[in-house]
Amino acid sequence: MCGIIGYIGPREAANVGIGCLRRLEYRGYDSCGGAVIHDGRMEIRKGAGKIDEINRELKLDSMKGNIGIFHTRWATHGNVSRENAHPHCDDNEKFSIVHNGIIENYSYLKEQLAKKGHAFSSETDTEVIVHLIADYYNGNLKDAVLRALNDLEGSYAICVISSYEPDVIIAAKNESQLVIGLGNGENFIASDIPAILSETKDFIIMENREVAVVSRDYAEFCNLEGTVIQKKIQRTELDAASAEKGLYEHFMLKEIHEQPRAVEDAISNRISEGRVILEGEFPLSANDIKRIIVVACGTSWHAGLVGEFMLEEIARIPTEVEYASEFRYRNPVIEDGTLVIAISQSGETADTLAALREARKKGAKILGIVNSIGSSIAREADYVLYTHAGPEIGVASTKAFTSQLAVLYLLTVYIGDKKGLLPQQQVQNRIRDIRKLPLQMQKVLGKSEAIRKIAEKYSGKNNALYLGRGINYPIALEGALKLKEVSYIHAEGYPAAEMKHGPIALIDEHMPVFFIATKDERTYSKIMGNIEEVKARNGEVIAIASEDDEDIGKKAHIVINIPRSSYILTPLLAVIPLQLLAYHTATLRGCDVDKPRNLAKAVVVE
């Protein structure tokens, strides 16, 4: 999705701004550009393509001027072209804007402005905003922006500059994320914190319908009515290196390898004296939770499915998992005692946020399980359990997923303990099990090279099937999602028993079938049956199996061993080989793993 950077200070804005803009590339984009003001004149350079290409051609980062706004565009209104790339400006090039979001009433506004003589040069919804501002300008940029914003319906994060007032950037936010970074004699505006972590650790997070006037020395805030608002400065503990690739070739690989640390960080401050301690973050009484509904999208939805299994198994609370995009448009029944858990890495996914609001309207209490600190879901939920995985830059979610699972596990044990369902010894055993995980994960990561060799064998395939049962059925879904999103190989995930009800028709000697076939009392023998069924149809079987399973080698063509853990924690280990497999397959196929085509890191529009 679109990314925004603004800079005002003593340095060359384009040089700083384009550097920061590169850190927003992971969000997904198709064009980019920037506008600066120098000697009272606005200069805009932009084009369709990646930052490096456009920079080679147009020298974006060499523009002169100490104030500038910069943008990566992910097309919504209008195709991918130079004309539609941001920044957009008014007829006289006195004002320019970058925008993230969707203006729903733009057609009407465009018509009105055209009648007044405004000429439009793009097909975007964004361009109407800058024409409106030019139309309203009467010697005060902030006032003109406020008037324009009051005409808009829809979502926006914007930065506006004008050569009439070259010492301020006006920023505003409604639904789309925007933060102000405070420097020493310079200030920054960005779509997210990691983009400007190298410049500052002091941030002000903007809320909906707020406007900021940002100069070199100050940032002042007001609401859409112009009433002044006092904002809190927050200091982040994240360091700039957490948003850099370091020695790894790709963010995805780095983040896969960060999982032991991410799980450690998710659990370490929440365990004390043999108990899970969540009272401070989640003060709701466990006995008051009669039913749980999880809302999420994509990988976070898969985490919800694993969570459902955990919560029903251990905490004995009826749990349903809903696609947030479906939940928000139904008329869901929310009874007294319903807790809605919104799971999201970014905390900005539009559908999950809308589902949360729908649930709140109906009287549910909301718990957010969120990675991105200070994000919209984290702020709007009644309670939040941060996953503490650190910035996840690769579009494919990896460490965010396992840390979501770790938090769901802690939540489950916590509720089970509070409800008196788990004797103290069992609580301690459960805690011991998860404490072992980081080391066990490390062991699985040691198989990366072996998994690359397996990927070599299958990287030329066009299809793949992923099968699992019980708590590992969502891992089959997640394995398939990882493969398709980064390697563009068509992949399906299914509960293994469902295979007979249709997908079995796909199986022949060209079909690799990945089984999660770890040892457990409930489903192991059934999975072995499913493996036989695939082999009988000449399918190639690759099994993720427990390291003490001596028989599986006789059944599967290829075996990837993972350490034995308690059944309920196997998803956190079983998913790692599938993440590595997707990664290696994609790189072997020459795909851009960190920025797969058409995808955005945070889906902030419907």
Show which residues are catalytic: 2, 601
> Which position among 24, 489, 603, 604 is part of the footprint of ligand M6R (CB under 6 A)?
603
Using the contact rule CB under 6 A, the part of the chain among 81-89, 296-304, 378-386, 425-433 near ligand M6R is 296-304
349 binds ligand M6R (CB under 6 A): yes
Q: Is 387 in the site for ligand M6R (CB under 6 A)?
A: no
Using the contact rule CB under 6 A, the part of the chain among 109-117, 233-241, 341-349, 535-543 near ligand M6R is 341-349
Stretch near ligand M6R under the rule CB under 6 A, chosen from 187-195, 344-352, 525-533, 581-589 = 344-352
325 versus 546: smaller Cβ distance to ligand M6R: 325
List 352, 472, 523, 546, residue binding ligand M6R (CB under 6 A) = 352
Among 68, 166, 298, 307, binds ligand M6R (CB under 6 A): 298
What CA–CA distances, in Å, run from 274 to 270, 420, 435, 436, 500?
10, 15, 11, 14, 44
Residue 485 interacting with ligand M6R (CB under 6 A): yes
Residues 404-430: b if buried by 16+ CB within 10 A, e if exposed: bbbbbbbbbbbbbbbbebbeeeebeeb
Q: Identify which of residues 98 and 477 has a Cβ nearer to ligand M6R in the complex.
A: 477
Q: According to the binding rule CB under 6 A, does residue 299 interact with ligand M6R?
A: yes
DSSP H helices, 161-249, are none
In this structure, what DSSP letter does residue 313 have? I
| Contact call for residue 389 and ligand M6R (CB under 6 A) | no
**What's the CA gap between 102 and 605, in Å, rounded?**
8
Nearest residue (beta carbon) to ligand M6R: 298
How far is residue 461 from each of residues 457, 489, 541, 581, 589, measured CA to CA in Å? 9, 7, 14, 13, 11
Amino acid at 10: P
d(C-alpha 142, C-alpha 415), whole Å: 50
Using left for φ > 0, alpha for ψ between -120 and 50, and beta otherwise, residue 571 falls in: alpha
- Verify binding: residue 530, ligand M6R, rule CB under 6 A: no
Q: What CA–CA distance (Å, rounded) separates 488 from 462?
A: 9
| C-alpha–C-alpha distance, residues 114 and 89, integer Å | 15
Q: Which stretch binds ligand M6R (CB under 6 A): 55-63, 204-212, 346-354, 419-427?
A: 346-354
* Binding of residue 297 to ligand M6R (CB under 6 A): yes
| Shortest Å, Cβ 122 to ligand M6R | 27
Task: Choose between 66 and 299: whose C-beta lies nearer to ligand M6R.
Answer: 299
* Dist CA 596 CA 603 (whole Å): 14
Minimum separation from the CB atom of position 297 to ligand M6R (A): 4
Q: What is the largest CA-CA distance in the chain?
A: 80
Element (H, E) at 464: strand 463-468
Out of 55, 191, 344, 387, the only residue in the binding site for ligand M6R (CB under 6 A) is 344
What residues line the site for ligand M6R (CB under 6 A)? 297-300, 344-346, 349, 352, 395-397, 485, 599, 602-603
